[in-house]
Amino acid sequence: MNHRVKIPPRPVASPYRSFSSAEWAALRADTPLTLTADDLTRLRATNDPISLEEVAAIYLPLSRLMALYVASSQGLFKATQRFLGAEPEGKMPYLIGVAGSVAVGKSTTARVMRALLSRWPNTPKVDLVTTDGFLHPNRVLEQKNIMNRKGFPESFDASALLRFLSDVKAGMRAVRAPVYSHLTYDIVPDEFVVVDRPDILIVEGLNVLLPNRAGTDIPFVSDFFDFSIYLDADEALLERWYVERFMRLRQTAFRDPRSYFRKYADLTDARATEIALTIWRDINLRNLVEHVRPTRPRASLILTKGASHRIEDVALRKL
């Protein structure tokens, strides 16, 4: 009689090494916390309850790792110059991408990382640019009939963003990026952020990890990054945080007469909640599912938040 032996399936190896927040915090070593409570208040985005304890546990170890990566990159660049017998030239900026859903806390993460990294001796000059500045102006979105797809890939001037990143990575001086106003919900005419050969440039945005366009050899944003971070959370949490942020903004920014969202400030709470949920489900959730979340496996580091808005898990891509 033949006996068949059932061979268990081989476990799928993960390209990431996972850490709990406590395990990751231990990697801080003796890195000093140089941010104060007042600093954090200025860096914190609306509705993001980040604390100094979380900065010490999550972002200090990350800044230590980034300082090591940047130092290695700088050393490799110098070694390559020596190998080629080339004349010494300007430093090559190290680019870090920060991606994730609306309301997940990308802005706070990017600002905190900028503040921490600028305190390391080998990276005193750290700049931050958001891809919101590369959205098409509202008049263009209206002409294209895609105002309801703002934040989707087609709503960005991809060519301008690529030129910007290419110039920065090539070490060009005084490269300009457009400025976006969340108050007017539009590009600010004739206003720019100037990036002048930083040690590190942090690029924050929804779709910064999108891969190359199918069927073309044109690079995309993520091809310029040396390291990338994806902020993750369950859809239900993201929805709740978005609605909470919307309701809080009704009492603050939305009351400014210049605000694009002024019309929502005086609605009843019930009606405002209904509108916030509609915006979330029809626009932000669709963009998350169709474009943003599929880029998560491309990240160098995944930070996963729990219900308290605190980072509970860290996954670092293996080298």
Coil, helix or strand at residue 4: coil
pLDDT for 175 equals 97
- Return d(Cα 95, Cα 120) in angstroms, integer: 16
Sequence-separated (6 or more) residues with CB below 8 Å from residue 99? 106, 204, 205, 206, 207, 208, 209, 228, 229, 230, 231, 292, 295, 296, 299
- Return d(Cα 204, Cα 175) in angstroms, integer: 17
pLDDT for 293 equals 97
- On whether residue 24 sits in a domain, the answer given is yes
- On whether residue 198 sits in a domain, the answer given is no
- On whether residue 12 sits in a domain, the answer given is no
Residue 251 C-alpha from the chain's centroid: 26
- Mean pLDDT, consecutive 10-residue stretches, the chain (319 aa), reads 64 86 92 89 84 95 94 89 80 93 96 94 92 97 96 94 94 95 95 96 94 67 94 98 95 91 93 96 97 96 96 95
- On whether residue 216 sits in a domain, the answer given is yes
- On whether residue 96 sits in a domain, the answer given is yes
CATH number of the domain residue 243 falls in: 3.40.50.300
- Return d(Cα 28, Cα 31) in angstroms, integer: 6
pLDDT for 220 equals 81
- Return d(Cα 225, Cα 96) in angstroms, integer: 6
- On whether residue 67 sits in a domain, the answer given is yes
- On whether residue 94 sits in a domain, the answer given is yes
Burial 51-85 (b: 16+ CB within 10 A, else e): eeebbbbbbbbbbbbbbebbeebbeeeeeeeeeee
Q: Could you identify the residue written with the tokens 């106003």?
A: 181
